[in-house]
A = this chain, B = another copy of it.
Amino acid sequence: MAIGLTRVERPACPSPVTTGPADAPDGPCRACAVRRDAVCATLAPQDLNRLFAMVSRVSLEVDRVLFYEGDPAGDVYNVTDGIVRLSKLLADGRRQVTGFLPPGSIFGFGSTAVHCYTADALTPLKLCRFSRVQLDDFLQDFPDFGRRVLAKASGELRAAQDQILLLGRKSAQEKVATFLRDWLREASALDVAGRALELPMTRTDIADYLGLSTATVSRVFTGLVRLGVLELPSAHEVVVRRPDLLDDLTEATN
């Protein structure tokens, strides 16, 4: 089996736009889109204010890089808007996307001196940034906060193990079907179901996420259309006509 080659160059200007706490919605955090999901969800209002006073808000345009694999690490991020793309590279340019993080996710915790993946903006992003030291203080003072961070971390671990199963043992069709099913689930938790679903990532992103080539991803997509499972109004929109069939295809029963 040959290996996907997606060479990624460093863009000229990776610097994100940073602003202080001031520009956040009036009652800070009150109007936050991930108020219910994020690690800070169970903090009392006054504690939330204390946390908010420590964070800086970060905005990032599409494809801008937050940090590169190998950069010195020290900050923790909480996604409030948009989707973060995490990826790793091999020396010869082969890329593996390790995750697409929706709002409510945190990343960058972990105690390595350098980041072990690149984080960039799949869609326009808004993040809360705080330092590991600040995280540590909060873990100290608010056990429930720590519990929620641990819960997020173990959720990520669970997802990673599912991805390991997918990458190690599933066929191309099963991989794509699983990806679409999961994306559908995630979206319908927020969006309205039934309508066309937006796929913000490119075929290359999907291929690098599933350990395939773009050609194969494309072929499987058209195959699913032929089967009547999907419609593709455009390259970045999917209508799942038969969620039941899609589900069957995520895992052959033999």
> Which of the 9-residue segments A52-60, A86-94, A186-194, A232-240 touches chain B?
A86-94
Instruction: Answer yes or no: A19 CB below 8 A from chain B CBs.
Output: no
Instruction: Answer yes or no: A134 CB below 8 A from chain B CBs.
Output: no
Decide if B4 touches A169 in the complex (CB within 8 Å): yes
Decide if B168 touches A210 in the complex (CB within 8 Å): yes
Interface size on A, residues (CB 8 A): 54
Residues of B within 8 A of A112 (CB): 158
Q: How many copies does the complex hold?
A: 2
**Residues of A88-136 whose CB lies within 8 A of B:** 88, 90-96, 98, 109-112, 116-117, 136
> Which of the 9-residue segments A10-18, A23-31, A138-146, A222-230 touches chain B?
A138-146
Residues of B within 8 A of A169 (CB): 3-4, 90, 94-96, 211
Instruction: Answer yes or no: A165 CB below 8 A from chain B CBs.
Output: yes
Residues of B within 8 A of A150 (CB): 109, 139, 146, 149-150, 153
A44 to chain B, nearest CB (A): 16
Instruction: Answer yes or no: A154 CB below 8 A from chain B CBs.
Output: yes
Instruction: Answer yes or no: A32 CB below 8 A from chain B CBs.
Output: no
Residues of B within 8 A of A95 (CB): 169
Instruction: Answer yes or no: A147 CB below 8 A from chain B CBs.
Output: yes
The list of the 5 closest CB pairs from A to B, nearest first, reads A168-B211, A110-B154, A92-B254, A160-B160, A167-B167
Chain A contact residues, CB within 8 Å of chain B = 1, 3-4, 86, 88, 90-96, 98, 109-112, 116-117, 136, 139-140, 143, 146-147, 149-151, 153-158, 160-165, 167-172, 208-211, 251-254
